[in-house]
Amino acid sequence: MTPARKHFLRVTAALAAAPTGSEVKAHATGYELMLAKLHNDRRHLKTFESQAAKIELKRKLLPDYVPWVEGALQGGGAQDDVLMTVMVWRIDAGEWQGALDIAAYALHHRLLLPDQFGRNLPCLVAEELADQAQRGEAVPLAILQAADTLLAEKDMPDQVRAKLAKAIAYAASKEAETAAADTVPGLKELALTQFQRALKLHDKCGVKQDMQRLEKELKNLAKPADPADPG
């Protein structure tokens, strides 16, 4: 992609994100161009049955959309199905920070997901990140916490918010396994707090045994510092 092409996409994205009615004729062609590309890329994705193959293709396609995203995020918040689809693809491809950047913009401007995703934006972001973490993807603790903060005041089913809390708890526990000794208690406390939160939101979320294990570990960590302990 030439520098001129990148500049064109950035400019047209910014125009497309302008409030409805402002310079519509100027930005329509650029947005329609990107919608056409998105349509073709989605058709290509549908030729694969394998989810792994689809994710790999998304990783290859996503750089093509970077100039559009950069321009759109500088715009005024008009509905943009290209931008919203890229956000979902970034989650799928493990580009989590980039996805959260779009999510923050979309939430601020109240953008909607395209119909094919079947959920509202807060629910999708929380559930997809939690599901990835549950499948063993290395979603960083910081990303899960950032998503939780971003979505704190947004409406979603309690079960979905519980899944995110549970994912944070497991990520904190995992990080504690290799963390510096002085940070381990704090990470385990964070994990326990998030397990408790998940249980409060959804009493069948399956964290009771993990909570008991953590409570025991924290009690053992506290023993050396207890002057009443004869050991």
**Amino acid 35: pLDDT:** 86
174: in domain: yes
Half-sphere exposure (Cβ direction) of 135: Cα atoms closer than 13 Å: 10
Contact 93, 62 (CB under 8 A): yes
Residues 161 and 112 in one domain: no
Q: Name residue, tokens 């399956």.
A: 206
Return the closest-CA partner of residue 112 out of 74, 84, 151. 84
85 and 12 fall within a common domain: yes
Mean pLDDT of 66-81: 92
Q: How is residue 216 written in tokens?
A: 């025991």
Average pLDDT over residues 69-93: 94
164 and 110 in a common domain: no
How many domains does one find in the chain? 2
Q: Give the confidence band of 23 by pLDDT, cuts at 50, 70, 90.
A: low
Note the pLDDT of residue 54.
97
Whether residue 153 sits in one domain with residue 113: no
Q: Provide the pLDDT confidence category of residue 223 given band limits of 50, 70 and 90.
A: confident
- Per-residue pLDDT at 226: 46
Residues 152-175 have a mean pLDDT of 97
28 within domain boundaries: no
- Residue 26 identity (one-letter amino acid): A
On whether residue 138 sits in a domain, the answer given is: no
Q: Give the predicted TM-score (pTM) of the model.
A: 0.86
Claim to verify: residue 162 and residue 96 sit in the same structural domain = no
Is 12 in the same domain as 102? yes
Q: Are 152 and 213 found together in one domain? A: yes
The predicted pLDDT at position 34 comes to: 87
In whole angstroms, give the CA distance from residue 159 to residue 201.
7
Q: Which domain holds residue 103?
A: 8-16+51-118
- Share the mean pLDDT of the chain: 89
CA distance 123 to 91: 13
- Is the same domain home to 161 and 90? no
Q: Which DSSP letter does residue 135 get?
A: T
Q: Note whether 82 and 68 are within 8 A (CB).
A: yes
Q: How far is the C-alpha of 125 from the C-alpha of 129, rounded, in Å?
A: 6
User: Is 207 part of any domain?
Assistant: yes
Residue 107 near residue 114 (C-beta atoms within 8 A): no
Q: For residue 230, is pLDDT > 90?
A: no
**pLDDT tens string 182-202:** 999 999 999 999 999 999 999
pLDDT band at 36 (very low <50, low <70, confident <90, very high): confident
Residues 157, 59 share a domain: no
Read off the pLDDT of each residue in 149-175 and give the average, rounded to a whole number. 97
Domain-located, residue 158: yes
